[in-house]
Structure 1
Amino acid sequence: MSVKITSVAKQLPKFYRETKDIIPFVQLWMQGQETRFQRKVIKLFEGAGVDKRYSIMDPEEVFTATSFQDKNDIYKREVTELAEKALQKSLDKAALKPTDIDYIISVSCTGIMIPSVDAYLINSLGMRQDIVRLPVTEMGCAAGVSGIIYAKNFLKANPNKRAAVIAVEAPTATFQLDDYSMTNIVSAAIFGDGASAVILSSYEEDKGPKIIDEAMYHFYDATNMMGFKLVNTGLQMILDKAVPQKIADHFPAIVHPFLEKNNLSIAAIDHLIFHPGGKKIVQTVEDLFGVLGKNINDTKEVLRLYGNMSSATVLYVLERFMDKNPAPNTYGLMLSFGPGFSAQRILLKW
């Protein structure tokens, strides 16, 4: 009995701006800062590899001194709507009804909701009362892949069931108005908001790439490299500049043993479905894969069009591959990194 990914669908927030249109807001925000610092920040935004990003808030709201409660109220309202639309789209793609889902996993780390967003979806979409829920919260950018891993394990143990994984993130709600650190600025330059939903199935008749294997890889002594710090004004980004080098150092141990366990080498992988964490991380991984004769063009394009949407982003990359209808018997490797520090991997076969 195999587990397959049957559909993926994204949903974008209503607000969006091209980077060139956001820079005037950034300049206004930086009034009073040193001229040299201001030039450095503008150059960073212009060189981040993100042409446009979407947001649950208009830029005026992002650059306004709203409280943590105000921002979180907006987060709760908007991500619930985004999650519902993404899930409905993925159900429509798979020709399924909400009551066809046996297991629902919601993924988000950029706001706080209790109950989690999946509880609201059960009501708004009229899902089954005996559906099994699993909220995944504090795993950051890696959580989209983590959610698929958890769904796969549930379905592997339960034939003839279906699962939905909904990743919905709003990093713009974490922007710190009084924080002029490079971490806060880099975060603002690369992150955007978005949602995506994935349907998985253990029905033999359902179509889609099979999940051949999955694994997590945990870096020792790296818990301080990535995450959020809860402060009075909200969730303050933690992002160590050493992350790209850390990935490069561990890359062989992350990729090659995982593939060898499945009697494969990187040469056998046709589709690289990689999470675009940011320009430097993308360049690091592109250099590593480039040496092996592979490209991550779809990853770069998702970063350019939408920015890093935390856990949802790798699912945007996955949707691009799914929509191409890859040839049978081709392999895909999903890869993402997140707080912990950890790497999540999934091997797919079409």
Structure 2
Amino acid sequence: MSQAPATRPTLLAIGSEFPPFKVTQEEMYEGLLKKWYEKVPNAERIVKNTRVRSRYFAWDPRQALANGSVPTGDRSEVFEKTVLDVAGRSVGKVLAQVDRSKVGSIAMASCTGYMGPTPEYFIAKQFELTSSIRRTFIGHMGCFAAFNVLKVAMDSLAARPDEHVIINCTEFSSLQFRSDANAEQAVIQALFGDTSASAVVGSAPDGEGVQFIRTHTEQIWGTHELMTWNIKNDGFFMTLSPYVPFVIAENIHAYLEKLLGPEKLSVGDVKHWIIHPGGPKIVEMLGKQLKLTEAQLASTWHVLGEYGNCSSATVMLVLEHMLKADKPQRGEYGVMLAFGPGLTVEGALVRF
């Protein structure tokens, strides 16, 4: 009796959509940040040094926050009104590329707003997916949460290899912008943008398609105070230490040994790098540590410049752009990386 060929979790479709307000960094600075940070030394230089050129927003912060902060509930109402449109368009884009009757699960991540039922409920209903669909919503994990929805998909496929899984990350960081007048907050409000990125993952024979070989999670204990994300009466509040890039760079080789070692691979075997642009310093330091070329970092820099740091959705934007721009060849390896509160490093080994 012939044995069925081995299968792996495989990317079947990927796509992104954006909210309606596109604002250049210069427009954002002149229209709002200049006023907020007039007492912060070198505020304009801080904003420019993020290397963000433009961002998409779920609302126009220049108008919504012109008179100062607004309550958390008001911010949440905008999230509820916007998330189903933007995430729905993103999910619709990838569903159009697959057989939706095979979709058995949907996993969604967002740390920038809450509602119940959670958004993926309404998205599944909108597209008339099966009423028995398994739903998972992952909240408040930050910039690395794309890997959490990916791992839900991989686990689902291990149990039910004949199904497809929708994964989605939708983040509206602009809904939590704040006017706290210090350099740390100036960096944050100049860095983050909004988007929705989706993918469909299914099973395919080993060696056919963009396949997720393995993932690895690493908590860097004792560093949790360097990046935090908490709820206040007037919105969510983030802290972001300038030491974060140094800690990530110091630990990246040990991390990659754990991700790549079980597959008998090293950094030199990886041609494509899909790195979450948490900020320009992170990208610069990782590029130097890993001896990456400008071409290997091009998609990461492109996403940072055109969209900013879009929290959990960002690494999916980088993957989407890299697939179009680099056109990886069959059998080449890639590594996806993202970083967030913990500090936590998440990654996946991909074979094209």
* TM-score above 0.5, yes or no: yes
SS at match of 1:143: helix
1:5 paired with 2:33, answer no
Deviation string, structure 1 residues 14-58 (Cα, Å, up to 9, x no partner): 101111111112355338x43xx2x51111112211000000001
* Residues 23, 55 of structure 2: 8 Å contact kept: yes
Partner of 2:22: 16
1:156-167 matches, cutoff 5 A? 156-167=158-169
| 259-268 or 319-328, larger mean C-alpha shift | 319-328
Q: What is the deviation of 1:313?
A: 0.4
Q: What is the deviation of 1:294?
A: 7.6
Of 80, 86, 92, the residue aligned with 2:84 is 80
1:71 paired with 2:75, answer yes
Q: Give every structure 1 segment of 4 or more consecutive aligned residues whose post-TM-superposition deviation is greater than 6 Å.
A: 291-294
User: What is the CA–CA distance in structure 1 between the aligned matches of 2:116 and 2:242, rounded to whole Å?
Assistant: 33
Partner of 2:177: 175
Partner of 1:260: 261
| 308-317 or 130-139, larger mean C-alpha shift | 130-139
* Residues 15, 197 of structure 2: 8 Å contact kept: yes
SS at match of 1:127: coil
Amino-acid identity (%): 25
Structure 1's unaligned 5+ residue stretches are: none
User: What is the CA–CA distance in structure 1 between the aligned matches of 2:321 and 2:36, rounded to whole Å?
Assistant: 37
1:319/1:294 Cα in 2 relative to 1: closer, same or farther (>3 Å)?
closer
> TM-score, normalised to structure 2's length?
0.92
Of 148, 151, 157, the residue aligned with 1:146 is 148
Q: Considering only aligned residues, what root-mean-square deviation do their CA atoms show, in Å?
A: 2.0
User: What is the CA–CA distance in structure 2 between the aligned matches of 1:299 and 1:166, rounded to whole Å?
Assistant: 19
Deviation string, structure 1 residues 126-151 (Cα, Å, up to 9, x no partner): 11101001111121000012211221
Deviation string, structure 1 residues 259-283 (Cα, Å, up to 9, x no partner): 1211111111111011010111111
* Residues 7, 208 of structure 1: 8 Å contact kept: no
User: What is the CA–CA distance in structure 1 between the aligned matches of 2:324 and 2:258, rounded to whole Å?
Assistant: 29
Partner of 2:241: 240
Q: What is the deviation of 1:109?
A: 0.1
User: What is the CA–CA distance in structure 1 between the aligned matches of 2:102 and 2:44, rounded to whole Å?
Assistant: 48
* Residues 289, 295 of structure 1: 8 Å contact kept: no
* Residues 112, 140 of structure 2: 8 Å contact kept: no
| 204-213 or 137-146, larger mean C-alpha shift | 204-213
Q: What is the deviation of 1:239?
A: 1.2
1:130/1:298 Cα in 2 relative to 1: closer, same or farther (>3 Å)?
same
